[in-house]
Amino acid sequence: MTGSTPPQRRKRQLPTTEELRIWRDYIETAEALGSSLAARLQSESSLSRGDYAVLLALSEAPERRMRSSELAALIGWQRSRLSHHLGRMERRGLIRREECVTDSRGAEVVLAPAGADAFREATIPHLRAVRELFVDALTPGELAAAGEVAAALRRFLAR
């Protein structure tokens, strides 16, 4: 050690108490919201948030099918996470996996009828929950601010 670090320098490296308070508020609130939403989804539809994300992506995909790694990228999951989750969903009959014609390493994930049904039934309750837990809690200005904050964080993270 060649000398002590002056306080000004430390302040540039580490968050202030106030910044830290906001961070904790931010992340804990988002996590609490996430679990509330997951609990409502679970109780109202027998789908988990993960199931819902997968089924939503497949519902919107052309032919209701998608390459496994595209799907992973689209919903932002690690491939191994998706693979495990698809295994569970396949056992429940929500999706099927088929070999890919153009690349025999690849797999295509296909929305199964039971998956489409489950998704359709879950949609309205899920959207209602988003409104009740998130949208209704914020003024229009706060909502817009939330969007800007998320966008800024996302840009920075993807940088």
Contact residues for a copy of itself (CB under 8 A)?
13-15, 19-23, 25-34, 36-37, 76, 124, 127-128, 130-131, 133-139, 142-157
Nearer to DNA, 39 or 151 (CB): 39
- SS3 sequence of the chain: CCCCCCHHHHHHHCCCHHHHHHHHHHHHHHHHHHHHHHHHHHHHHCCCHHHHHHHHHHHHCHHHEEEHHHHHHHHCCCHHHHHHHHHHHHHCCCEEEEECCCCCCCEEEEECHHHHHHHHHHHHHHHHHHHHHCHHHCCHHHHHHHHHHHHHHHHHHHC
At its nearest, how many Å lie between DNA and the CB of residue 111?
15
Lookup result for tokens 């964080």: 153
Beta bridge partners of 109: 66, 97
From residue 20 to residue 49, what is the string marking binding to DNA with x (rule CB under 7 A)?
---------------x---x--x-----xx
59's contact among DNA, a copy of itself, none, with CB below 5 to 8 A by partner kind, is none
Contacts to DNA from residues 95-124, by CB under 7 A: 97, 100, 103-108
CA distance 102 to 72: 19
Nearer to DNA, 59 or 83 (CB): 83
85's contact among a copy of itself, DNA, none, with CB below 5 to 8 A by partner kind, is DNA
Contacts to DNA from residues 61-80, by CB under 7 A: 67-70, 72, 77-80
At its nearest, how many Å lie between a copy of itself and the CB of residue 94?
21
Q: Tell me which residues touch DNA (CB under 7 A).
A: 35, 39, 42, 48-51, 67-70, 72, 77-88, 97, 100, 103-108
